[in-house]
Amino acid sequence: MPPNSAAPRRGETPSSAGEGCALCPRACGAHRAEGERGVCHVDGRMLVARAALHRWEEPVISGQRGSGTVFFSGCPLGCVYCQNAPIAEARAGIEASVADLARMCLSLQGQGALNVSLVTATPFAPQVVQAVARARRAGLDVPVVWNTSGYEAEATLRLLRDTVDVWLPDFKYADADLAARYSHAPDYPQVALRALRAMADQAGSPCFDEVDGAPRMTSGVLVRHMMLPGGLDASRRAVRLLWDEFGNSVGYSLMSQYTPVLASRARAGDGRAARVLQSCPELAGRVAAEEYEALLDFADRLGIDDYFWQEGDPADESFIPAWDGTGVR
């Protein structure tokens, strides 16, 4: 077992010693602690690509100071349009121990971070539990945010119950065919909806305090939905499903920031990006402003009390961080 991997007692986690990995809904069974890579592209060694202040989240997450964001390598979902593919596929990242991650959390708090946000940390959930507990014993007192695709196993969410304060999941699709087409996960809608229910049951309604004269989210669920090019009807179905299930008991963030990185990668000679665009040509474009406005109008008509929305041009590759190990060492 790698020195930084978790060694929980049998039954404590969805990936007990001697059993294959089931931390995510893929339940691929990889023996990651022995060096085998899972569907998520990583073995048992925790990889972190960046740990730094990030100012481009919802105001209640990043505020003026920035969210203390830790970007992990590896991803269970693997969307074909992922703008963070270098880390999602574990082509970038530095090995980190539980002690290293605890230090990163404390360092980010020391830099004034509004919270510590753990991005796509599912493959390392047992190590995260240990690291956050260690950091809290050493003085970490800002909220801990779980920033996720929404494709989560309920057993892993139970493992995180005493670790996570704010759940920040995506709800990408309400349609199995789209989930299969774009993320090779036709079960995404029902799996993600179950995960969101579990998050809401754990966290309750959103709660806030005040930092620098503005609200900071301290607990609860804030669900994100990113519109895809030409996807107005699909987005309406996703938002409607969320509304029917949760009403105003969770927060909502409706995003237009889809960035057509596939197009630039294909132009640069990336054969895989070119093949994706051959089968999904719509992903070469951006979200049309009028379609995004129509989605916001739909949310208003449903009766969503308050939601976050984006203005300007958030769909720019300049908003994608550098995966250079900043803050990891």
| pLDDT, tens only, 65-97 | 999 999 999 999 999 999 998 899 999 999 999
In a domain, 158, yes or no: yes
- Residue 38 inside a domain? The answer is no
Q: Residue 82, annotated ligand binder?
A: yes
CB proximity list for 74: less than 8 A, separation 6 or greater:
38, 40, 41, 42, 47, 87, 88, 90, 93, 120, 123, 124
| 132-177 per-position pLDDT tens digit | 999 999 999 999 999 999 999 999 999 999 999 999 999 999 999 9
Residue 328 lies in a domain: no
pLDDT at 315 over 60: no
Residue 280 annotated as binding? no
Find out whether 40 is annotated in a ligand binding site.
Answer: no
Q: What is the pLDDT of residue 9?
A: 38
Output the domain CATH number for residue 200.
Answer: 3.20.20.70
Measured CA distances, 279 to 95, 101, 143, 179 (Å): 35, 40, 42, 14
pTM of the model: 0.93
pLDDT per position as a tens digit, 270-289: 999 999 999 999 999 999 99
Task: Answer whether residue 17 shows pLDDT above 60.
Answer: no
State how far Cα 157 lies from the chain centre: 13
Amino acid 319: pLDDT:
62
Query: What does the pLDDT look like over 186-195, one tens digit per residue?
Result: 999 999 999 9
Q: Are 6 and 127 in contact (CB under 8 A)?
A: yes
Q: Which residues pair with 48 in a beta bridge?
A: 72, 94
280 lies in a domain? yes
The verdict on residue 125 lying in a domain is: yes
Q: How many separate domains does the chain show?
A: 1
pLDDT at 22 over 80: yes
Q: Is residue 247 part of a domain?
A: yes
**Which structural domain range is residue 253 located in?**
46-311
